[in-house]
Every structure is written in structure tokens, then in C-alpha cells.
Amino acid sequence: MTDRTRAHVFVSGKVQGVFYRANTRDTAESKGIDGWVQNLSDGRVEAVFEGPESTVEEMVEWCHTGSPAADVDDVDVEYDDPNGEDGFRVRR
């Protein structure tokens, strides 16, 4: 089995109200990534991606652009061991 990893991502900028979460979900599902995405009260978007290391890296890279209407200022990411996310969902 391919080595799996977990990326915990915080995206700042104009990332709420621009379909960022929906686009993240669609992109993650198309790549077979497990995890979730949600808006935070401070205007950022938080996401967790679990899957093969190279595919998770592609997802993190995608976050720097995100949805077509987004204007991303920064992407903070922390890596950890996967904890068994199953499927991809939008929270809140």
C-alpha cells in the first residue's frame, strides 16, 4: 500500500462565500482523498486531507489557488499520521 499521510490546512484570504469548500470537496473526491473542509469564524477555511503522500501534496498545492472566485493570501499546513478519515465531507 502507498504511504498515507495527513495534512491539516488553514487557508486565509477571500475564501468564504466563493464556493471554496464545495470546490475543495469536488477536487478531493476526484483525487480519492479522505477528510473534511469547513469555514472558521475568523474568515479562514480549515481542511484535513488524508491519502497517498503525493496526492495529498497535490491537494495542498491546489489550496493555494482554490475555487475560481477565491483570493488566497496564505496556506498553513501541518503534517501528521493519518487517523482513518473515510470519504470527504463539508462541515458546517
Q: Which residues are catalytic?
A: 21, 39
Q: Which residues, in sequence order, are CB contacts of 89 under 8 Å at separation 6+?
A: 25, 36, 37
Residue 5's nearest CA partner among 58, 45, 44 is 58
